[in-house]
Structure 1
Amino acid sequence: MPGYSGILVIDKPQGWTSHDVVAHVKRKLKAKKVGHLGTLDPLATGVLVLVLDSATKHAANLGAGVKEYAAVCRLGEARDTYDSEGKRTKAGDLTGLTREDILKALDGFRGRIKQVPPMYSAIKSNGQPLYKLARKGITIEREAREIEIFEIEALNIELPGVHFRVLSSGGTYVRSICHDLGEKLGCGGHLTELRRTRSGAFRIEEAAGPGLEAAELTERIIPLEEALKRVSVDGGGPGSPGVVKA
């Protein structure tokens, strides 16, 4: 299948980098070019949309649209990476914290908001990724970026854990939502689980595991023309249905 153009939606396993998935699929399918439409942290699982061969030229169009995540935030402890892989920077008392407090704080994220990206991110400052500076113990001021949270809802609250779903614009850091939630509540917080269930017009229901054999992966490839049509019709917006199954 060298030269085949299309889209492949992968359910990224925990512990894999997005680059790991790209290299694995490229090798398995013997594709000339493989790229992705938005990275996922190694901690995260779920939708990673790959573009194969000449489809890489259409990445900007195919990657448009909202992102949907299911996440778990652990309250009572902040970490420097904003997730469970970092060092603890703050511990807080959850005594007296109510469900109503948490729901009100979550609701405050809804709409257009300014979000400061974490130091442990791939955003560059003077050509240097922030995470490389952070690993040297260097912290710099980061400019807040405008994002939009279309939907955010608590799925389950069982302290210290808060399981929630968020539908957001691209460029949103769910780790930052967890950190900022902890700051709002005065107790600290960090991300412990993250699963992306949607990226624009592509959803988890059509995702393939990277462990499938080449023939099975090939069957899952969405032809470029179909993918472009889906994006143009669906738009990948917050109110669009995403994948429509017959």
Structure 2
Amino acid sequence: MSRRQFRKLNGILLLDKALGVSSNKALQDARFLFQAEKAGHTGSLDPLASGMLPVCFGEATKVSAFLLDAGKRYVAVATLGCISTTGDAEGDKINPRPVPALTDTAIEAVLACFRGAIMQVPPMYSALKKDGQPLYKLARQGVEVEREARAVTIHSLTLLERTQDSLMLAVACSKGTYIRTLVEDIGEALGCGAYVSMLRREMVEPFDGLPMHTLESLRALAEQGREALDAVLLPLDTALPHLPALTVPETVLLRLRQGQKVRADVEGAELLRLYSESGEFIGLGYASHGVLSAKRLLAY
């Protein structure tokens, strides 16, 4: 497909990433299917993981940072009795230990320790960087470096099902949470070790309850025509429901686009969703004590 066939397209796709596919591969497949000039995703999922991967086309990339900072919800299966070199099923299984006879009460007592604000040491197999080098590349070379613990929040942690050697957990958490690390720490607290053998991301805020679309279902829509395919895209401002809205007159909008600051009837200091008088979302502005300036305006 040549570059000339690509088009300017703005919107957010809630892609249901398949197992065994990298987030970048899923992103590129979606971009080619939609023939979008510009696309980016908002927080990668490992190939082992499936589920919600918001893809931002065109001007939607200007609001993608808010999705990177969003809370998320997962379902994970923790396999008990050993640990993995990568924290998940792809790594070598090491340090086998017997799984104790666990009761629901004992499991709940351990899970309770991980709810709320906790400190977490990021895994070596992560995209975090040390001196410009991703940690996962160092890990593949057999190099381990010291990582500082980071504060994350586990909003909820629930046991859904269990077998003699596995726990299925529902996790709602803040940005920056590593489910592999959470499962490893739970396994250590249970005294037998654990690794993630299944992981699915069910939700990225603020898209709770909205449908996801697999590449297969999108390809089927594409056969019906571009209009049917584009209909699944969400408007850009659906990523920003937590920000207050402000309607801007056309004369004021022109001045904002020219980099000028304008007066606004807004108290305090806050980031705002800006709309034209016709109701079109035009971008983000920052108001401070009655003065409004452009933060990130869209170019449709």
Is TM > 0.5 for Structure 1 vs Structure 2?
A: yes
**1:244 maps to what in 2?**
none
1:54 partnered with 2:59: yes
**1:230 maps to what in 2?**
241
**2:102 maps to what in 1?**
97
Q: How does 1:1-246 map to 2 (within 5 A)?
A: 2-203=7-208, 205-211=210-216, 212-213=218-219, 214=222, 215=226, 216-225=228-237, 227-232=238-243
Alpha-carbon spacing, 1:64–1:136, altered in 2? closer, same or farther (3 Å): closer
The one-letter code of the counterpart of 2:241 is: R
Alpha-carbon spacing, 1:62–1:121, altered in 2? closer, same or farther (3 Å): closer
The one-letter code of the counterpart of 1:221 is: L
Q: Is the 8 A contact 2:100 2:192 kept in 1?
A: no
Alpha-carbon spacing, 1:14–1:178, altered in 2? closer, same or farther (3 Å): same
- Relative to the length of structure 1, the TM-score reads 0.89
**How far has the Cα of 1:231 moved from its partner?**
4.7
**How far has the Cα of 1:217 moved from its partner?**
3.5
Q: Is the 8 A contact 1:47 1:203 kept in 2?
A: no
Question: Partners of 2:61 and 2:233 in 1: how far apart?
Answer: 14
Question: Partners of 1:17 and 1:182 in 2: how far apart?
Answer: 27
Question: Partners of 1:204 and 1:120 in 2: how far apart?
Answer: 31
**1:238 maps to what in 2?**
none
Specify every segment of 5 or more residues in structure 1 that has no aligned partner in the other structure, as ranges. 234-246
Question: Partners of 1:174 and 1:65 in 2: how far apart?
Answer: 15
Question: Partners of 1:192 and 1:73 in 2: how far apart?
Answer: 6
Q: Match of 2:215, SS? A: coil
Aligned length: 232
The one-letter code of the counterpart of 1:41 is: D
Q: Which structure: larger Rg?
A: 2
**How far has the Cα of 1:204 moved from its partner?**
6.3
Per-residue CA deviations over 1:114-166 (Å, capped at 9, x if unaligned) read 00111111110111111111111111111111000011110011121100101
Q: Which has the higher contact order (CA 8 A, sep 6+)?
A: 1
Q: Is the 8 A contact 2:83 2:93 kept in 1?
A: yes
**How far has the Cα of 1:59 moved from its partner?**
1.1
Question: Partners of 2:205 and 2:239 in 1: how far apart?
Answer: 12
The one-letter code of the counterpart of 2:109 is: K
RMSD: 1.6
Question: Partners of 1:25 and 1:10 in 2: how far apart?
Answer: 8
Alpha-carbon spacing, 1:166–1:12, altered in 2? closer, same or farther (3 Å): same
Q: Is the 8 A contact 1:106 1:152 kept in 2?
A: yes
**2:291 maps to what in 1?**
none
Q: Match of 1:138, SS? A: coil
Q: Is the 8 A contact 1:10 1:50 kept in 2?
A: yes
